[in-house]
Structure 1
Amino acid sequence: MRRVPTSFLGVALCALVFSCGAAPRPDEGTRDAVAVPLRLLTPRKLLPFVTLADGRVLAAGGHDGQRTLASCEVFEPETGLWRATGALNKARRNHAAVRLLDGRVLVVGGAQVAAPSALADAEVYAPTTGQWTVVSPMSEPRNDPAAVLLPDGRVLVAGGTDADRRPLRSAELFHPETGTWVPATPPGFVRGGAGTAVVLGQGKVLFASGLQAELYDVATGRWEKAGLTGGAAGTHRVGHSVTALPDGRVLVVGGATARASSTAELYDPMTGLWTLVAAPSVPREHHAALVTKEGTVLVLGGEHFTTGALTSVERFNPMTGQWSSAPALEEPRRFSHALLLADGAVLLVGGANEMTGMLGSGERYLPGGCVPVTCEARVGACGAVPDGCGGELQCAPCFVDRCDAPPCHAEGLTRR
């Protein structure tokens, strides 16, 4: 048998090693992607988008429909383009991200694979260098935790789920100066979900998720119930939005149950009470929400459990407690993120829908005048219903089984 020279084997082995070592990580192809205005270099969902101190927007990790990502990119409002930046040290999705007082961004937890998993790892992004630095891990792995920046600069992370998808009833505090974690008093109930915690003006933080909202006292580190179980709507909320209003109250909209998706409520920290407000025209979950420069709240997209991803947009006026219809999105979006730009426009980014799948395209949304809602958009509506702009719609007749009495006819009901 012919022998192969050892020198040839050495060269071949060296070439193999260097060719493998030089190959890019599976999700780092974004560096060679062609930048298109408003389009992400890599379609992604299941991640937080963070506005940096200079107005740029950071997208770190997430999921592209097939794999969990380590790649990151930054949106530049001046050019309307997304640019690649340093990759995370560990790919993750369903993680939490918080901008620290010094401008850096802390990313914690999440998961790496679709199967049950959770990460304890944490790292910090420096916008000046575009690089990530690993810091001390949390005391326990957390998938989809709730995280919030406290007024004193610390970061409180609460709840989430463990590697077996069991809800966690624990919390811990991150100290940016040392890059370390210390235990915090555990909440009374399991917590979780990005964007479900907001800082109030009384030195407390409201966590509104699940069946019982709670308050965290920054000074004492103690937790207390925030209102009655289930709030004013009496329902469990997940997949909802929690928005702090300019007057200090908090608006909670939608969710994954039929009752939650079709209701909205306000929390008043001065009274500690939840109050039901007018219901939005379109039930929704997994939507985006933000406060405009005028102080109104835009609720954008999301999904309805019977019709799928939505283009519907509605505007809530905190002064009147009423909703009005706003111009629709260009395409349906669920699991997208909305950010207010300096010029008052809204940047919609990421998400997915049934027609396209993962969405790499973004949208620059300009809040306009009122657009009347249709009967088709108001799923299940019948009879005379408000059109969201001060007018009235005449939808299909309302049917009630075995209703043939005069009171039924007086209310516009027809026997089936």
Structure 2
Amino acid sequence: MRVASESFMEEGTGHTSWGGRITAQSPPRRLLPAVWTPPGRGGGLVALRPMAPRFVRSTLLAAALMALTPACGENEVRPSLDLLSDSCAGTQPLAGVTHLRFRVTGPGLDTPRERVSTVAWTEADVPAVPSGTARVLEVRAYVGAPDQGGQLVSLGRSVPFDVTEGQAPKVRMFLRRLGEFVPVNLASAPRTCSLPVATRAAHTATTLPDGRVFITGGYEPRADGTRPVTGTTEVFNPADGTFSPGPDVGARAFHTASLLPDGRVFLAGGAASFAPVTLQPSSLLLDPNTGARNDLPLKAARYQHAAAVNTEGQVLLVSGRAADGSTVDTVEGYDSAKGRLVAYPAPFSFVDAALTVERGGRIFQVVGGASGLGAVRDVAAFTFADGEILTLAAGAYLRGPRVGAAVALLGRPDEDPLPLVMGGFDGLDPAKGARPVGASEFLNGVVQVEDGPALMPRGNLCAVTLPDGRVMALGGRGTGIGTTYAQPWVELITPHAGAQPTVLGLTLMPQPRVWHTCSALPDGSVLVVGGVDDSTGEIRANSEALVVMPPPRD
């Protein structure tokens, strides 16, 4: 007899529910496990009457007793949960699952509110919680009882929500298989994949204050080697899994997009075409919600440059290439509080440098890059003061040169987070012997550098800080016999107080990617959009948008 692990039969009916959209907004019908018996033996899909093992009956009895007691308090309410438990590809989130753990955390809750049920859960299995702000509901799915060594295989997490006395909040979440890259799916039809509006590489993806992701520009990688540039934009809404067209921003690729404190996005530079190379000479201040825009001329047209925004809402632009391939040596920025562009008076001619903000939130740090003499170890520091851009005399030096590195902040705000420098090449041209760097290092203040964990060696990787302070590094370029090619590697870096971070290698991406974007979503998952796969010697576009849920930190 073979158990149909994803099938359930509603008691008292002849209908089967296939693990899709399960909601507890109204009392659900009881679901019983279904099995398939061979034809000729009364075969077919039949519902088994409850013959639960003792530990399951004990768990359910304990849950029932808890539900009947007033321990929750008169002011506590139970969230109404809409659990989207299907995916449009890959392993179904409830495949093999036997138990669910419901877990609520948030400010003022000294310990998580938890309940454990079988996979046939009801609304009574969701913990009641007191009034308060920023509550987060998690659903963890196990193969086997969690208190008896069951394996955690899937996770769903809500966005933070507020609980008002006497009002039950409505919560929706996607349940996702841990560590598995799958296409984005629609909330309205979870078995249907949701595709981006356009195929893109060298674009930008900016996470807006409400959790949506604003995707702009880029080029379309074609098999014949042509790279038409687009000015289209789109907005990904993680709440419903949709991609919606946004305002046109003018053709631009290898540009930068910086989120300002007021929710507007500052787009700068980029290539308008590649045959021949022409550049966007201006920056664009855009409100993604209204489409309101303001064009501001740049002092220097550039692409493949770096940008960062500090806590004061000031944006710095460094590095980059001109249309003829030469290095742009102009440093300039935008001061959103004053509403004007500012230029640094002296030349600064490093190309393919990374840019970050020192942990204090105000000082910019330009990391590595290359000058006319080759790759450099410099970490130059800049700041805005009295309406000008100034450089600090003191600066740090990397352990070794890096060209095309990535930087992301590792650690939660309460963990004294530090910028972590990852990847890059130790020279400007891999065809002339430059090798990818596997070591990482921390920027501890303006002048101090500390060793970080060893990672897979590659340059031009995408790195993103998760809401829980961990960093995920995805894709990039590796080398082989004098050439570079896209990589599928994915690593999850976890900080530890007083010790080196640990690195967990996750499942490889289905296709290698470079010139893609990676964005942290409010539920702790990561959205990967676009990029190029040239690992086989042919140019292939990454047309699907993927999402991956990392294992929980605790």
Q: So what's the TM-score if we normalise by structure 2?
A: 0.55
How far 1:110 sits from its partner (Å)?
0.9
2:363 maps to what in 1?
204
1:15 maps to what in 2?
none
Question: More strand by proportion, 1 or 2?
Answer: 2
**Which of the two has higher C-alpha Rg?**
2
2:472 maps to what in 1?
298
Change over 3 Å in CA distance of 1:188–1:68 after alignment to 2: closer
2:541 maps to what in 1?
358
Amino acid of the structure 2 residue aligned with 1:362:
A
> In structure 2, how many angstroms separate the alpha carbons of the residues matched to 1:309 and 1:295?
27
- Contact kept in structure 2, 1:327 and 1:369, CA below 8 Å: no
Amino acid of the structure 2 residue aligned with 1:173:
G
Identical-residue share of aligned pairs (%): 25
- Contact kept in structure 2, 1:146 and 1:160, CA below 8 Å: yes
Amino acid of the structure 2 residue aligned with 1:277:
G
2:490 maps to what in 1?
313
1:46 maps to what in 2?
202
> In structure 2, how many angstroms separate the alpha carbons of the residues matched to 1:199 and 1:273?
11
Amino acid of the structure 2 residue aligned with 1:164:
D
Select 2:419's aligned residue among 218, 234, 250. Answer: 250
Change over 3 Å in CA distance of 1:267–1:252 after alignment to 2: same
Deviations 1:358-379 (A, max 9, x none): 1120111111389xxxxxxxxx
Change over 3 Å in CA distance of 1:127–1:278 after alignment to 2: closer
Amino acid of the structure 1 residue aligned with 2:270:
G
How far 1:226 sits from its partner (Å)?
2.5
How far 1:302 sits from its partner (Å)?
1.9
How far 1:79 sits from its partner (Å)?
1.5
User: Are residues 1:335 and 2:515 paired?
Assistant: yes
Change over 3 Å in CA distance of 1:71–1:286 after alignment to 2: same
- Contact kept in structure 2, 1:124 and 1:134, CA below 8 Å: yes
Q: What secondary structure, in the 3-state scheme, does the structure 1 residue paired with 2:297 have? A: coil
1:266 maps to what in 2?
442
2:452 maps to what in 1?
277
Change over 3 Å in CA distance of 1:117–1:326 after alignment to 2: same
> In structure 1, how many angstroms separate the alpha carbons of the residues matched to 2:383 and 2:347?
11
Deviations 1:271-303 (A, max 9, x none): x222333321x2222222122333222211223
Q: What secondary structure, in the 3-state scheme, does the structure 2 residue paired with 1:276 have? A: strand
User: Are residues 1:222 and 2:397 paired?
Assistant: no
- Contact kept in structure 1, 2:302 and 2:321, CA below 8 Å: yes
> In structure 2, how many angstroms separate the alpha carbons of the residues matched to 1:274 and 1:151?
22
Select 1:73's aligned residue among 195, 209, 234. Answer: 234
1:401 maps to what in 2?
none
> In structure 2, how many angstroms separate the alpha carbons of the residues matched to 1:363 and 1:160?
29
1:213 maps to what in 2?
379
2:298 maps to what in 1?
138
Select 1:324's aligned residue among 504, 526, 531. Answer: 504
Aligned residues: 326
CA RMSD of aligned residues (A): 2.5
2:343 maps to what in 1?
183
Change over 3 Å in CA distance of 1:218–1:162 after alignment to 2: same
> In structure 2, how many angstroms separate the alpha carbons of the residues matched to 1:252 and 1:48?
20
> In structure 2, how many angstroms separate the alpha carbons of the residues matched to 1:202 and 1:128?
27
> In structure 2, how many angstroms separate the alpha carbons of the residues matched to 1:109 and 1:345?
30
1:25 maps to what in 2?
none
> In structure 2, how many angstroms separate the alpha carbons of the residues matched to 1:48 and 1:103?
16
Mapping for residues 130-169 of structure 1, pairs under 5 Å:
131=291, 133-169=293-329
> In structure 2, how many angstroms separate the alpha carbons of the residues matched to 1:208 and 1:198?
10
How far 1:143 sits from its partner (Å)?
1.7
Gap runs ≥5 in structure 2: 1-191, 222-226, 370-375, 427-433
How far 1:208 sits from its partner (Å)?
1.1
Gap runs ≥5 in structure 1: 1-35, 371-416
- Contact kept in structure 2, 1:46 and 1:94, CA below 8 Å: yes
- Contact kept in structure 1, 2:308 and 2:356, CA below 8 Å: yes
How far 1:260 sits from its partner (Å)?
4.3
- Contact kept in structure 2, 1:327 and 1:367, CA below 8 Å: no
